[in-house]
């Protein structure tokens, strides 16, 4: 497993170096147009048909069922309603821009109460509201959880999250969210990852195709003036801008996830000349209890067990290895793998290098 992780690290580093040498990337893949954004929707509803897996008899579940029945002309006392086959849920969805009336979007259904599972349940008609408390979609359909929960008195088994599910194309768009792409004959192109270098390169690339039209506002936004010939229909102009290629840039960064043992480094990582020595201390503790018994046919004495613990401490030898200056990420990967250390040891080495000032990269620990 350690060797595989080391090879995976080398592969990721080499892939990052190769990506840095690519000719260019479309603006479309690096940015989004200001105004063309998703919006979040949320709703509160009921999932029925749960065969005894629903909410316990809590007050808000009963009240919700009573309110639903009242909509259909059935007036009942909430205290007399049983909610064993019903679960109160929160329904969430992201509605993309330009979605017209009648289009469908996916929704996520999550249990709000103490239902055991939503498997096999049906979400009844649930309005989905935006941040302005207006209804933009209505959700309904069979909930797919992709998991289960089963058990008896002595054992149980659970797969995935049975209290959260999805409905593919489960919401019907009722109202289009207005989108404004052009303001005062300008289009703002926003980077997904703000960077001054990429912003400047984008502005330069756009100006080569449409001279004098683009200006970098900051590290996140390039403002492009819409030519008069495209002002009546700017969509074609935006499509041409998104097709322009630029050479992306990245910061020198190493991300370490100690929980999973994952190390990811960008292609611009550099290490100055330094020397590294890394050794491990292995402590072995063995419990070998000894049993003492009285002699055969003896009239006195009892059988006793005496604890016996053996502790062995072994410190592996570590040599001081000199690292020359490493200007490429390939050499960094090769030198660290040549030490024969584990990924978790690499984490300690990177941290020590950073503290010594030899690692010329941002180090992020998660």
- The half-sphere exposure of 277 on its side-chain side, counting CA atoms within 13 A, is 5
**pLDDT confidence bin for 6, thresholds 50/70/90:** very low
Examine the pLDDT at 12 and tell me if it is beyond 80: no
pLDDT digits (tens, 9 = 90+) for 169-227: 999 999 998 888 999 999 999 999 999 999 999 999 999 999 999 999 999 999 999 99
Tell which CATH architecture fits domain 23-36+180-246: 2-Layer Sandwich (3.30)
What is d(CA 23, CA 208) in angstroms, rounded to the nearest whole number?
17
Locate the domains of the chain by residue range: 2-12+252-281+316-365, 23-36+180-246, 39-148+156-173
CA dihedral (318, 324, 326, 331) positive or negative: negative
What is d(CA 63, CA 321) in angstroms, rounded to the nearest whole number?
71
Q: Mean pLDDT over all residues of the chain? A: 82
pLDDT digits (tens, 9 = 90+) for 279-304: 665 555 566 677 777 777 666 667 77
Q: Name the 3-class secondary structure at 243.
A: helix
Work out the burial of residue 18: count CB atoms within 10 Å of its CB; fewer than 13 is exposed, 13-18 middle, 19 or more buried. Answer: exposed
**pLDDT confidence bin for 254, thresholds 50/70/90:** confident
Q: Name the 3-class secondary structure at 116.
A: coil
| 4-8, 125-129, 169-173, 343-347: the lowest-pLDDT one | 4-8
Work out the burial of residue 285: count CB atoms within 10 Å of its CB; fewer than 13 is exposed, 13-18 middle, 19 or more buried. Answer: exposed
Instruction: Over range 132-139, report the average pLDDT.
Output: 95
What is d(CA 205, CA 226) in angstroms, rounded to the nearest whole number?
15
Tokens of 19: 């990506």
In this prediction, residue 87 carries a pLDDT of 93
């Amino acid at each position: 497993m350690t060797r595989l992780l080391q090879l995976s690290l080398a592969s990721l580093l080499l892939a990052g170096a190769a990506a840095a040498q690519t000719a260019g990337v479309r603006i479309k893949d690096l940015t989004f147009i200001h105004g063309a954004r998703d919006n979040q929707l949320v709703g509160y509803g009921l999932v029925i048909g749960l065969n005894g897996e629903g909410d316990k008899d809590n007050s808000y579940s009963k009240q919700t069922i009573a309110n639903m029945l009242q909509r259909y002309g059935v007036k009942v006392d909430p205290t007399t309603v049983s909610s064993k086959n019903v679960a109160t849920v929160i329904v969430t969805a992201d509605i993309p821009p330009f979605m017209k009336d009648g289009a469908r979007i996916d929704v996520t259904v999550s249990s709000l109460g103490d239902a055991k599972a939503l498997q096999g349940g049906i979400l009844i008609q649930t309005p989905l509201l935006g941040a302005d408390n207006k209804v933009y979609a209505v959700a309904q359909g069979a909930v797919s959880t992709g998991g289960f929960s089963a058990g008896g008195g002595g054992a149980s088994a659970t797969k995935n999250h049975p209290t959260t599910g999805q409905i593919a194309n489960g919401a019907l768009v009722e109202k289009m969210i207005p989108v404004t792409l052009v303001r005062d004959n300008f289009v703002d192109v926003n980077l997904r990852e703000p960077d001054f270098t990429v912003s400047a390169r984008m502005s330069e690339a756009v100006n080569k195709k449409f001279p004098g039209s683009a200006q970098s506002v900051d590290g996140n936004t390039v403002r492009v003036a819409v030519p008069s010939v495209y002002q009546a229909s700017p969509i074609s102009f935006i499509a041409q801008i998104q097709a322009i290629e630029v050479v992306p840039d990245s910061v020198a960064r190493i991300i370490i996830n100690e929980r999973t043992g994952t190390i990811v480094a960008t292609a611009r990582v550099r290490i100055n000349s330094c020397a590294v020595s890394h050794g491990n201390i292995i402590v072995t503790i063995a419990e070998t209890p000894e049993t003492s018994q009285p002699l055969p046919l003896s009239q006195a004495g009892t059988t006793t067990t005496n604890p016996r613990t053996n502790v062995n401490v072994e410190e592996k030898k570590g040599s001081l290895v000199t690292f020359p200056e490493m200007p490429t990420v390939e050499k960094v990967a090769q030198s660290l793998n040549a030490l024969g250390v584990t990924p978790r040891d690499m984490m300690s080495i990177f941290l020590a290098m950073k503290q010594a000032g030899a690692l010329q990269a941002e180090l992020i620990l998660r």
